[in-house]
Structure 1
Amino acid sequence: MHQGKRFAMWSIGLLVALALIFVVHLGTGFSEFSYMDLVRIIAGYGTEWQERIVFDFRMVRSVLAICIGAGLALSGAIFQTITRNELASPSVLGVNAGAGVAVMLYIYFEPANAITTIWKAPLFAIIGGGLVALLIFRMSYRKGLSLSPMTLILNGIALSAGIHAVQMVTMVTLSPDKFNQINTWLIGTIFGNSWNHVMVLAPIVAIGAIVLYCYSTKLNVLNLNEETAIGLGARITKERVTFLCIAVAIAASCIAVGGSIGFIGLVAPHIARRLVGVNHHYYLPVTLLLGALLLLSADWLGQVIIAPDEMLVGIIVALVGAPYFLYVLARTRG
């Protein structure tokens, strides 16, 4: 089948699936609403209590799951492109760890009575994730030699392990309230956010997605081997760093809001490549839709699997993502 037709088919299918899961997710919770009730409430005919549950709690959570899943997936796609390695993702390359330790230190040193703004956590996350990502690239770069994808992965894993050790040491000194806050955040959860978080995160993900899509041709060139890319006029190091910064900003902002959710940035791009190939004009939109669908589905599953209790979405993603990571690793080695 022609690549354009495959792209159209899968895009429509994923959009329909995302819309269906969105409705199912919206109807899931401690208070049960039928789908007719949901239509009535969304149309403005519900009680104040019903509208508050649907709009201020459930819909915020649904929209944020879509934004975070899409953002992490896009970021993972860019990491895999600039490293030309299927194992690359924000979690593997240290962005999750860097963003996590920056937000943890921000929470740790913030006075209990300090005025908190919605921008602080994303800003700290972007700084932390960016510094760690650039450090890993610097550690992996050797002048006159091509950037080894495997060296990049190994440095990312090693540095992430060291950062996690620092996090564990720091966490034992926290007060019980701050410990619970950081521990929940490190696992990953979308619950408890507001429309303010949506207003901060959605523009970052949307602008990042538009910019990346506009530069799809350059990303296609970077996906080639270095000799070919240079021959086509690509300034490889400069363009890698530029796209790295965009990917880190998107991923770190998502991590700041949803916590250290891993594997979405690994799984979604990998599946998208199998569905529509590596042409970024098709690859990026399908990756975005897959990431949104995967995280929204995982969050819904976390609400129903042990209902009426709830499992954090980071655990669900890890249960699915870890075996998939091992599969990709075995396939890569093979």
Structure 2
Amino acid sequence: MNPALVRKQRIIVIALFLLIVATIVVGMGIGQSSLSFNRLLPTLFGHGTFMEHFVLYELRLPRIVVTLLSGMALALSGAILQSLSRNDLADPGVIGINAGAGVGVAVFFLYAPIEPGSLAYLLPVVAFAGAFLTACLIYVFSYSKAEGLQPTRLVLIGIGVATSLSGLMFVIMSSAEREKVDFISKWLAGSIWGTDWPSVLSVLPWLIVLIPFALMRSNSLNLLSMHESVAVSTGVSVSRERILLLLSAVALAASAVSVSGAITFVGLMAPHIAKALVGPRHQMFIPVSVLMGGWLLLLADTIGHNIAPPDGVAAGIVVAFIGAPYFIYLLLRK
């Protein structure tokens, strides 16, 4: 491996880490509740007032951590999907996986009896079920025995499925209670709703397990991103690897959107930017992509949450302002 490229990757990782820390500090210090920057350190170390402690540890920090982890999960999911499909336009939001998770969440939230304390833990499971069924449907219609997985067909079918599921979502919402419909509407806009520590715990285990798993499967991803015949010729069990990695991508996307809403384009942009910086080898660009995704969503939510008070602008809308033009640029280029 090129020593200069490894050194460049380390510098980029450190730079992204510093950007994340800086954005976290800004996010902790601004907001509608009063907690000034000069009170951050005393409050962090337990010397703040009751109100300062409550604002920091119960309102701001859980939201910041959930947003950061969700961005990381979406970025890694997008990176895996792009490699499996050999299509640079693949993203869990663009190809319909987020929509499948959304339908699962909507049906469960609107019609199932829910205990308030268990909501944060049950939604990722329900979202995974909806996302998995959607991913299987897209995969079946995109696969051909003669040509294998067809990248262009995957994106087109995924967009069609996402559109159909969005229509189904509105049909479901039309017969539901007003309060519950308001929640689902905010979820669809990509508004971070999981703003407590149980929501953090519902996302964190997936990342702890699946980031190392993706890095361990980097060589398989390198081969699968070339062509199916290349992977077969090197002895890779294509079907097994593809299924395991697809399940990983679905689980990551479902865990993220279950607490952060239907956010699109993070999984599209972060892997692309990472590849442009350090090249297409997964050992190199996956760590950069994960940090880039976390920072992008954290930055979007910090901006959106603090403009147009009192409710702000959903992080998904802020990301879409950046991501939609980027998606069009990629579509035209490809």
- Structure 2: how far apart are the matches of 1:35 and 1:115? 33
Specify the alignment match of 1:179 in structure 2. Answer: 181
Name the CA shift for 1:98/1:36 in 2 (closer, same or farther; >3 Å). same
Q: Distance in 1 between matches of 2:69 and 2:194?
A: 15
Aligned runs of 1:115-264 on 2, under 5 Å? 116-191=118-193, 193-264=195-266
Question: Which residue, 240, 263, 269 being the options, matches 1:267?
Answer: 269
Do the aligned partners of residues 67 and 112 (structure 1) sit closer, same or farther apart at CA in structure 2, a change above 3 Å counting?
closer
| Deviation (angstroms), 1:191 | 4.1
TM-score by length of structure 2 reads 0.96
Cα gap change, 1:117 to 1:168, in 2 (>3 Å): closer
Q: What's the CA shift for 1:202? A: 0.8
Give runs of aligned pairs for residues 33-72 of structure 1, distance below 5 A: 33-72=35-74
Is the contact made by 1:28 and 1:303 (CA closer than 8 Å) also made in structure 2? no
Q: TM-score, normalised by structure 1?
A: 0.96
Structure 2: stretches of 5+ with no match in the other structure: none
1:105 alignment counterpart? 107
Deviation for aligned residue 1:175: 1.1
Give yes or no for contact 2:215–2:286 (8 Å, CA) kept in 1.
yes
Q: Deviations over 1:109-132 (max 9, x none)?
A: 124778744321111100000110
CA distance in 1 between partners of 2:10 and 2:117 (Å) = 48
Q: 1:73 aligns with which of 69, 72, 75?
A: 75
CA distance in 2, matches of 1:113, 1:130: 24
Which of 284, 289, 292 is matched with 2:291 structurally? 289
Q: Can you list the C-alpha shifts for 1:16-52, whole angstroms capped at 9, x where unaligned?
A: 1111011111112102433220011001100111101
Residue type of the alignment partner of 2:228? E
C-alpha separation between the residues in 1 aligned to 2:222 and 2:75?
17
| Identity over aligned pairs, percent | 37
Aligned partners of 2:220 and 2:231 also within 8 Å: no
Shift of 1:303: 2.2
Q: 1:24 and 2:26 equivalent?
A: yes
Q: Deviations over 1:194-225 (max 9, x none)?
A: 10111121111221111111221111121222
Mark the runs of 5 or more structure 1 residues left unpaired by the alignment.
none
Instruction: Return closer, same or farther for 1:83/1:46 CA change in 2, 3 Å cut-off.
Output: same
Shift of 1:321: 0.9
8 Å contact kept, 1:70–1:290? yes
Between the aligned partners of 2:314 and 2:119, the Cα distance in structure 1 is: 25
What is the root-mean-square deviation in Å for CA atoms of aligned residues?
1.6
Name the structure 2 match of 1:304.
306
1:261 and 1:144 mapped to 2: Cα distance?
35
Q: Give the distance between the partners of 1:273 and 1:196, measured in 2 at CA.
A: 33
Q: How many residues are paired up?
A: 332
Structure 2: which amino acid aligns with 1:264? V
Quick check: 297-306 or 177-186, which moved more?
Answer: 297-306
| In structure 1, distance between residues paired with 2:82 and 2:64 | 27
